Amino acid sequence: MQLVSTHIVLNDDIGVRGNLYGGKLMAWIDDASSAYAREVIKNPNTLTLKVSECLFLKP
């Protein structure tokens, strides 16, 4: 199985240096991972309990 998630980046998603906000990216990652989990376990009642770490090392 493969999940493909695409998003349109709007002006409100971009900071003054032209980079996507990290919080916005994390929200998209959370949405995609929960969609994938729902497909794998065949249960629509899922939620994110915890993300232990997310490092943005380069813009």
**In the predicted structure, residue 59 carries a pLDDT above the cut 80:** no
Residue 13 above 80 pLDDT?
A: yes
Task: Report the domain count for the chain.
Answer: 1
Q: 3 near 32, Cβ under 8 Å?
A: yes
Task: Report residue 16's pLDDT band, with 50, 70 and 90 as the boundaries.
Answer: very high
Secondary structure (3-state) at 20: strand
User: Which of helix, strand or coil describes residue 14?
Assistant: strand
Query: pTM value?
Result: 0.80
Confidence of residue 27 (pLDDT cuts 50, 70, 90): very high
| Containing structural domain, residue 6 | 1-59
Q: Give the mean pLDDT of 38-57.
A: 88
